[in-house]
Structure 1
Amino acid sequence: MTGIAYKLTILLKARDGLAPEDFTDAWLNLEEKHPLRAAGMVGHTFDRPLAGASPIKAAQAAPFDAAIETWWERKNDAADWVVSRQFADRWLPDHLELLAEPPAAIGGAPELIWERELAVDAAPVRLLVLPVALRRMRFADFADHWTSQHAQLALGGPETKDRLVSLENTPAPIAPPARFARTRYDGVGAITFESPEALTAEFSCDYYKQVVAPDELRFTDPAFSAALITEPVTLH
């Protein structure tokens, strides 16, 4: 996607008693009835819940089940959507009925670090990473380490680029638009793998354990960082 200046990721916790499959079906039915369309929106993906613990050594299981990723031409376009009548009168009330709590959100300028074309027979899964910076680090230093040094380490495995489809990091230096719950996360990473097997292979390999995992502790706090495994469904 081109012409993107801002990404808003909305984090969702399903209502108690609602199975992942039922939550996904109900959410997608709502999206079909009331498509999320807004001026300046470049893309929109629903990341449906998948079972599985966080494979990242320095990140615990996230307290969310699914997510919405939206990409925008400008930050103000996303802010305008959030304060619009379409959001307040239709989108949010309809979707709140499926949620255990109001959605949280993380926003910032996305950095697409690496991408390749998705194979026709691929069954992609997306790992959403929610990092919390070490308290002693300035935000700028955290963001630089995450999007440059750590990202290059992560891409340097002998089979990593055969397993990955894309790597996008979005540092979040300021709070998201109002009407969303705030989190303490300092950004969101979206790592898309070609298949569930590819994800498992990457995080069980020696390169991840010996090179990438130790570097996670140099800039993130494992007590508060989190991750969740999802399946991306492109809606726009």
Structure 2
Amino acid sequence: MTEQNRAGTSAPVRQLAAGACVLGALVLLGALLGLVWWQFAPRAEGTALGDGQVFTGTTEDVFAGEGYFVVMTALAGLVAGYGAYMVQFPLALRRLQDLRLVVLVAGFLGSVAGAVLTWRVGVALDGAAHAAVAAAEPGSTVVTGLHLDATAFLVAWPFVFVLQYGLLDAISLVRRDLPGVPPSAPAPEADEGAAEGAAERAPRDGAEPSAQSDPGAPVAAEHDRPGPEESGR
């Protein structure tokens, strides 16, 4: 009884531990990607208009910073989705415990947090450029800092993560090797054939099995008529 209680209480603990590890790893990855975005994303030059406003025109560098953000977070979602599913697969098989849902939820929340952290860390590290733009006199040439005007790009990471994770789970479903789900053992063909043969040999409705008769015993007729001597009595 004690072992059963321990097994019952340890299963949710393992699920929470797996989810916490996935969530923490993605949050840390988001902070690191913010540093990478700040280091490699190009900046656009423009003319200061005062009050922190800059006229940049329509050069490629204006959209390059946001393009770097989308590409980096989408690749992070692809790698995170693959890695999360591949990590929980052997853990689920070892304990015969399904961890797919908890890892999916934790990975989605971690992807959202990671995308936000990438954005905020990159912008914060470029604070000196934003301060220079705010202090620039109108008409002077300045270099803009990192920014993300299209906040809809934040969904790239969680979207790709869920898509990759679901694709791997669909492949496991087709292959019938879902992690943590014991496979259903089909009935042997020999047992099915024996069951069918027994059903065919069974007596039909209302019929009784015929008893084996002795070949040397006399067989009485069903309707024996009395002889002439018996009829005269």
Shorter-chain TM-score range: under 0.3
More relative contact order in 1 or in 2 (CA 8 Å, sep 6+)? Answer: 1
* TM-score normalised by length of structure 2: 0.20
More helix, by proportion? 2
* TM-score normalised by length of structure 1: 0.20
Structure number with bigger Rg: 2
